[in-house]
Amino acid sequence: MTTTDWSVSGLCIVARPEDLTGLESSLNQRPGVEVHACDPSSGKLVVVQECTTVEEHRDGLREIQALPGVICADLVMLYQDIDETQRTTTPGGAS
């Protein structure tokens, strides 16, 4: 398990339009999760999730996928700012 200083994942979620309001509220109540865009006509949401480990990102995505009204939720990007003390240096100075 790699602990990071800061880590964020971008998720694309598709939901039934009639469930969108409740789902958006539910997502915004989750720690480290924020809905950044919502298209009511298509049922699509853009969500950012902040965590400290890849496992937390994975588990959070799985929990979101299981929420009522979610048709699909996919990881679009993952960025990690790895703790400098965990970096390894290879010969030649590259890390």
Task: State the Cα–Cα distance between residues 80 and 4, nearest whole angstrom.
Answer: 6
Which range marks the domain in which residue 9 is found? 4-81
Which domain CATH number covers 22? 3.30.70.920
Q: What pLDDT was estimated at residue 6?
A: 76
Q: What pLDDT was estimated at residue 81?
A: 80
Structural domain tally of the chain?
1
Task: State the Cα–Cα distance between residues 56 and 54, nearest whole angstrom.
Answer: 5
What contacts 53, CB < 8 A, 6 or more positions away? 1, 2, 3, 4, 7
Q: Which residues of the chain have pLDDT under 50?
A: 1, 90, 95
Q: What pLDDT was estimated at residue 54?
A: 87
Q: pTM here?
A: 0.78
Residue 87 in domain: no
